Structure 1
Amino acid sequence: MPEVRTSGDTRIHYDDVGRGEPALLFIPGWNTTRDAFRDLLPRCAARRRVLSVDLRGHGQSGGGGTDFDSATVLDDLLAVVEASGARQVVPVALSHAGWWALELRRELGAERVPKLVLLDWIVSEPPLAFTEALRGLMSERWMSTRDGLLDMWVAGVEDPNIIRYAREVMGGFGEDMWARAAREIASAYAREGSPLRALSGLSPTTPTLHLYSQPDSHDYLEAQVAFGAQHPWFHVMKLPAVSHFPMLEVPDLVAAGIEALVSAQETYMNTGIIMPGAVPG
Structure 2
Amino acid sequence: MPEVRSKGASIHYEEMGREEPALLLVPGWCCSRAVFGSLSTRLSPRHRVLSMDLRGHGQSDAGSRDFTSDTLVEDLLAVVEASAARQVVPVALSHAGWFAIELRRRLGQRVPGLVLLDWIVLEPPPPFLAALTGLQSESWRQSRDALFGMWLQGVDSEDIFRFVREDMGSFSGEMWQRAAREIASGYNRDGYPLRALSALTPPVPTLHVYAQPEDPAYLMAQQSFAAEHPWFHVARLNARSHFPALEVPAEVAEHIERFLALIDRSASRDTQGPSAPTEAGA
TM tier relative to shorter chain: over 0.9
What amino acid maps onto 2:3 in structure 1?
A: E
**What residue ranges of structure 1 are gaps of 5+ in the alignment?**
267-281
Q: For residues 126-275 of structure 1, what are the structure 2 equivalents within 5 Å? A: 126-264=124-262
* Structure 1 runs of 4+ with >4 Å offset: none
What amino acid maps onto 1:11 in structure 2?
A: S
Q: CA deviation at 1:125?
A: 1.1
- Which position in structure 2 is the counterpart of 1:3? 3
- Which position in structure 1 is the counterpart of 2:76? 77
Q: CA deviation at 1:64?
A: 5.5
8 Å CA contact 2:26, 2:91 repeated in 1: yes
Q: Secondary structure at the match of 2:124?
A: coil
Deviations 1:99-149 (A, max 9, x none): 00000000000x200000000000011100000000000011100100010
Q: Distance in 2 between matches of 1:106 and 1:215?
A: 29
Q: Distance in 2 between matches of 1:17 and 1:265?
A: 21
8 Å CA contact 2:205, 2:263 repeated in 1: no
Deviations 1:156-215 (A, max 9, x none): 111111110011100110100000000000010011001000001111111100000111
Q: Distance in 2 between matches of 1:5 and 1:64?
A: 10
Q: Secondary structure at the match of 1:122?
A: coil
**Alignment partner of 1:97 is 2:101:** no
Q: CA deviation at 1:38?
A: 2.2
**Alignment partner of 1:86 is 2:85:** yes
**What residue ranges of structure 2 are gaps of 5+ in the alignment?**
265-282
Q: Secondary structure at the match of 2:14?
A: strand
Q: CA deviation at 1:265?
A: 7.3
8 Å CA contact 2:117, 2:208 repeated in 1: yes
Q: CA deviation at 1:155?
A: 1.0
Q: CA deviation at 1:66?
A: 3.0
Q: CA deviation at 1:65?
A: 5.0
Q: Secondary structure at the match of 1:178?
A: helix
8 Å CA contact 2:113, 2:263 repeated in 1: no
Two-structure CA RMSD over aligned residues (Å): 1.3
Q: Distance in 2 between matches of 1:187 and 1:35?
A: 26
Aligned pairs, how many? 265
**Taking structure 2 as the reference length, what is the TM-score of the superposition?**
0.92
Rg comparison, structure with higher value = 2
Q: Secondary structure at the match of 1:59?
A: coil
**Alignment partner of 1:19 is 2:25:** no
- Which position in structure 2 is the counterpart of 1:37? 36
Q: Distance in 1 between matches of 2:79 and 2:40?
A: 17
8 Å CA contact 1:58, 1:64 repeated in 2: no
- Which position in structure 2 is the counterpart of 1:276? none
Rate the CA distance shift 1:72–1:122 in 2: closer, same or farther, 3 A. Answer: same
Q: Secondary structure at the match of 2:219?
A: helix
Q: Distance in 1 between matches of 2:163 and 2:62?
A: 22
Q: Distance in 2 between matches of 1:159 and 1:258?
A: 23
What amino acid maps onto 2:2 in structure 1?
A: P
Q: Secondary structure at the match of 2:262?
A: coil
8 Å CA contact 2:56, 2:62 repeated in 1: yes
- Which position in structure 1 is the counterpart of 2:115? 117
Q: Percent identity between the aligned chains?
A: 61
Deviates more, 1:20-29 or 1:57-66: 57-66
